[in-house]
Amino acid sequence: MTSSSDLTKERLAWLLDKYLYGWAYMDIERASIKGDAKLAGFILGACFIDAMASFHAGVDLDTSKRDSGKRFKDFVEKYLKDYNADKLWSDLRCGLVHSYAEGGTYVFTDNNKAGFHMNYTSKGKIILNLEDFCADLRKAYNAYRTDILSDNDCFLKAKHRLESMRLMMPVPIDDA
């Protein structure tokens, strides 16, 4: 990996494109949109938001376990503005990821061509359509990537996160 003094905004964006987006996000599509694991798209999507939020907040090994809800919600409020950050955190991220249960806010669908994404059912639940949810994640990633390239504070936080906790990528066994 590039040494910290050599890490430019462009190199960081490239690493995130290749490994955070290329591995983490694309796994969402491979499993759910292109595969049969539809619910996995929502679970992995919540994990992807968590990962982006950790870069956005500049967490490190010492702070990664603290304030995860706050940084998740802050990221959602900035980059996924159509979503209710509290409900996405409690019912999608916490409920679905940790308990394999949804907390009462959402219903999930896929291949919804009628445009029901983010609309309400007759019982007041929010409809999340897989393909639209994934499109929203792509938009959030691209907006965050743009901020890394244009905002020095955003870059420095993401750089700190990368240097402290690394990124899921091939690492020689001797370096692990």
Instruction: Please tell me whether the overall predicted TM-score, pTM, comes out greater than 0.85 for this model.
Output: yes
Taking only the tens place, the pLDDT of each residue in 113-172 is: 788 999 999 999 999 999 999 999 999 999 999 999 999 999 999 999 999 888 877 766
- When pLDDT is cut at 50, 70 and 90, the band that residue 1 belongs to is very low
Each residue's pLDDT tens digit, 64-82: 778 899 999 999 999 999 9
pLDDT score of 19 more than 70? yes
Amino acid (1-letter code) at residue 159 = K
Q: What is the DSSP letter of 46?
A: H
Enter the DSSP assignment of 45: H
Give me the residue spans of the domains in the chain: 8-166
Q: What is the DSSP string of 60-80?
A: -TTTTTSSHHHHHHHHHHHH-
Residue for token pair 């290749």: 18
pLDDT: which is higher, 4 or 104: 104
Looking at the predicted structure, is the pLDDT value of residue 37 above 50?
yes
